[in-house]
Structure 1
Amino acid sequence: MLSLLPLLFAVLVSPASAATWYFLRYVTPSNQAFLSFSGTMVIPNLPRAGVYYLWPGLQPTDNSGVYQNVLDGRSGTWWIGSGWCCSNPSLPWGGGFNVNGGDTVQFSNTRGSSSWTSTLKKGSGGNTVTDSFALNSKTFNQALFAIELTGVSWDFGPLTFNNVVITSSGTDTKWCTNAPENYNSAANYAVSGVSASVSNNVVTCRISSVTLQSPK
Structure 2
Amino acid sequence: MTPQVKVFVAWCILLLKALVDAQSYEFTFEASLTVPPFSKSGLHLFASGLTNQAEDYVYDNSLNDHNSGTWEVDMQHDNGALATDNKILPGDTIYSVFEYSSETLVTSDNVTIIPGPESIKAGLKERTSSRQDSLQTTSPAAGKLNVARLRVWLGADTPWDFGAIVWENVTITSQTTDPWWCNDAWKASDNLDVTGRVTMFWGEGDTTICEYEYMSWEPTKKGN
Q: What TM bracket, shorter-length normalisation?
A: 0.7 to 0.9
Counterpart of 2:5 in structure 1 is: none
Alignment counterpart, residue 110 of structure 2, candidates 104, 116, 119: 119
Counterpart of 2:98 in structure 1 is: 109
Alignment counterpart, residue 183 of structure 2, candidates 159, 177, 183: 177
Q: Is the 8 A contact 1:95 1:130 kept in 2?
A: no
Cα distance, 1:146–1:160 mapped onto 2, change above 3 Å? same
Cα distance, 1:154–1:33 mapped onto 2, change above 3 Å? farther
Q: Which runs of 4+ in 1 moved over 6 A?
A: none
With normalisation by structure 2, the TM-score equals: 0.75
CA RMSD of aligned residues (A): 2.5
Counterpart of 1:93 in structure 2 is: 81
1: CA distance, partners of 2:22 / 2:105: 22
Q: CA deviation at 1:104?
A: 1.1
Q: Residues 174-213 of structure 1 correspond to what in structure 2 (within 5 A)?
A: 174-178=180-184, 180-183=186-189, 185-213=190-218
SS at match of 1:171: coil
Cα distance, 1:209–1:198 mapped onto 2, change above 3 Å? same
SS at match of 2:182: helix
2: CA distance, partners of 1:114 / 1:27: 19
Counterpart of 2:30 in structure 1 is: 38
Higher share of residues assigned helix: 2
Q: CA deviation at 1:95?
A: 4.4
Instruction: Encode CA deviations 1:102-132: one digit per residue, 9 max, x unaligned.
Output: 1112111112423212111111542221112
Counterpart of 1:83 in structure 2 is: 76
- Residues matched between the structures, number: 194
Unaligned runs of 5+ in 1: 1-16
1: CA distance, partners of 2:213 / 2:144: 26
Q: Is the 8 A contact 1:83 1:133 kept in 2?
A: no
Q: Is the 8 A contact 1:191 1:210 kept in 2?
A: yes
Q: Is the 8 A contact 1:187 1:212 kept in 2?
A: yes
1: CA distance, partners of 2:195 / 2:181: 17
Indicate whether 1:164 and 2:170 are aligned: yes
Q: Is the 8 A contact 2:31 2:48 kept in 1?
A: no
197-206 vs 53-62, greater mean Cα deviation: 197-206
Identical pairs, percent: 20
2: CA distance, partners of 1:26 / 1:188: 17
Instruction: Encode CA deviations 1:16-44: one digit per residue, 9 max, x unaligned.
Output: x8421211222245967562111211001
Q: CA deviation at 1:45?
A: 1.4
SS at match of 2:200: strand
Q: Residues 42-61 of structure 1 correspond to what in structure 2 (within 5 A)?
A: 42-61=34-53
Unaligned runs of 5+ in 2: 1-8, 116-124
Q: CA deviation at 1:79?
A: 0.6
Instruction: Encode CA deviations 1:156-188: one digit per residue, 9 max, x unaligned.
Output: 2211111222122323333422373221x2121
2: CA distance, partners of 1:111 / 1:58: 10
